Structure 1
Amino acid sequence: MSISFHHVLLETATAVVPELAMFYSGTLGLRPVPAETGNVAVAVGETTLEFRPGHGRPFYHYALLVPGDRFDAAYRWAVGRLALLPDVRTGAKVFDFEHWDAQALYFHDPADNIGELIAHRGIGESGVTGRFQPDELLGLSEVGIVGDPPLLAEALAETFALPVWSGSVTEEGRLGFIGEKARTLILARAGRPWLPTGRPAEAHPVEVVLAGVVDGDIQLDSGGSVRRVSLPHPS
């Protein structure tokens, strides 16, 4: 069963909401969509990404999915818009994940969220050539959830039948990748460093609505939930 991220809601400091609106709709060129009063939301392919004012200055890790044959074009597009985050060991700004047959780059948004563009070869390939356009993004590919990975993995398996497809939820210091290749919930313990900056993961409220899974609702200890949405069938 193929899954996807239908809607992802993250919290942010109230003061940076206007900057986030300019960044996502201006810098990245994503289409604004209606949102709750005071929130900011944009369409990212199949996903609505929304931010609402919260307490403190929460931060998250997420990834946007690039068609598998468009990473080079997306990289050139990103270089002109973003300050790419380098690998702290090598200085490289392109990350090759050979075991996933994927490439990625990282950046910060105005809320200091660690954003990523990732392309998995063979997934969502379009055959398009020329300059990359933001409407080519397929949706969110990854959303980080910080908590107790074994308990979260057990709940996701029991509720949605989502497996651990990569990594580990039991080995200390590792991440657990839940779902399927290119559409993944990343489970991390608080304090586990995120690529590429090494900033320790923090638990903050996040609401994730999935499509392509059975009905269910998991309440997260950090606040928020993971649940399923029923989408209408095309007529």
Structure 2
Amino acid sequence: MKIKEIILFTANIQRQKQFYKTVLEFELVLDSEEKISFKTGASVLSFVYDEKAVNSSHFAFNIPSNQQQEALQWLQERVQILPDDDNLISDFKDWNAKAIYFYDADKNIVEFIARKNIDINSRNSFSSKNILSLSEIGIVATNLETVYNSINSIKNIPVFDGNLARFCALGNEEGLFILINKTIKKWHPTQEEAFTSNFIIKGDYNFSYENGEIKELL
């Protein structure tokens, strides 16, 4: 599943601009008072101003399969890493992947994940230019089956991992919807409460997630 763009909402658009442009050195490709966009490999990460936006999100970027250690060192010079117990890199053995987590300026939980099964390696020194694409967006709800049925009605989507009771990943290693039952599951690795936050996604699936409802973009 390919993700072309994820649009999130922020009450602090200038602070997010400063974070992604200056701290993470992402390429700014759209800059206005209402919307900012950054090139992230084959995809685009955007933020739209909304003074009522309060809930944080979770999203992830795929990075080269061999660069989790280089990415960690690069990030440690710029942000505080969110540890997984005593580890700075989470090891997802069932997914054959390793991930690093940190907050952005809105306390969104951002993830850099190196998926070995994708088998895309890089010999270049790690930087934001090494990011392959956006690869995950979290969807927080109370009824995961309803979310799954709504997405599946747009286009059939496979279950990658989990179940519809607590946690379910839909899609494939190029792109995943991470469904979280907020009454049971908390965000990894911080174990903080997961809240429903609005977003728009474009790519193989085009829809908005607003106030817990999925609406297809036509």
TM-score, normalised to structure 1's length? 0.84
Pick which of 156-165 and 57-66 moved more.
156-165
| Aligned mate of 1:204, from 157, 179, 197 | 197
> How far apart, in 2, do the equivalents of 1:222 and 1:7 lie?
20
| Aligned mate of 2:67, from 62, 66, 70 | 70
> How far apart, in 1, do the equivalents of 2:78 and 2:209 lie?
36
Q: Please state if 1:131 is matched with 2:128.
A: no
| Aligned mate of 1:187, from 155, 174, 179 | 179
Name the aligned partner's letter for residue 175 of structure 2: R
The residue number in structure 2 matching 1:232 is none
| Aligned mate of 1:11, from 9, 12, 20 | 9
Query: 1:103 Cα deviation (Å)?
Result: 0.1
Question: CA-atom RMSD, angstroms?
Answer: 2.1
> How far apart, in 2, do the equivalents of 1:108 and 1:218 lie?
23
Deviations 1:113-155 (A, max 9, x none): 01111010031513x3252021110111110012221011112
Query: 1:220 Cα deviation (Å)?
Result: 4.7
Q: What secondary structure does 2:125 align onto?
A: coil
> How far apart, in 2, do the equivalents of 1:65 and 1:217 lie?
21
The residue number in structure 2 matching 1:142 is 136
* 8 Å Cα contact 2:92-2:98 kept in structure 1: yes
Corresponding pairs, count: 215
> Structure 1: where are the runs of 5+ without partners?
229-235
Name the aligned partner's letter for residue 212 of structure 2: S
The residue number in structure 2 matching 1:81 is 78
Q: What secondary structure does 1:129 align onto?
A: coil
Deviations 1:169-212 (A, max 9, x none): 1x3xx31101112410111123431011111111121111123x
> Structure 2: where are the runs of 5+ without partners?
none
Query: 1:221 Cα deviation (Å)?
Result: 4.3
Query: 1:45 Cα deviation (Å)?
Result: 0.9
Pick which of 105-114 and 180-189 moved more.
180-189
* 8 Å Cα contact 2:200-2:209 kept in structure 1: no
The structure that is strand-richer by fraction is 2
Segments of 4+ in structure 1 off by > 4 A? 216-221, 223-228
> How far apart, in 2, do the equivalents of 1:32 and 1:219 lie?
25
> How far apart, in 2, do the equivalents of 1:205 and 1:224 lie?
10
* 8 Å Cα contact 2:201-2:208 kept in structure 1: no
The residue number in structure 2 matching 1:114 is 109
> How far apart, in 1, do the equivalents of 2:54 and 2:86 lie?
28
> How far apart, in 1, do the equivalents of 2:155 and 2:106 lie?
31
Pick which of 191-200 and 24-33 moved more.
191-200
Name the aligned partner's letter for residue 76 of structure 1: Q
> How far apart, in 1, do the equivalents of 2:208 and 2:9 lie?
18
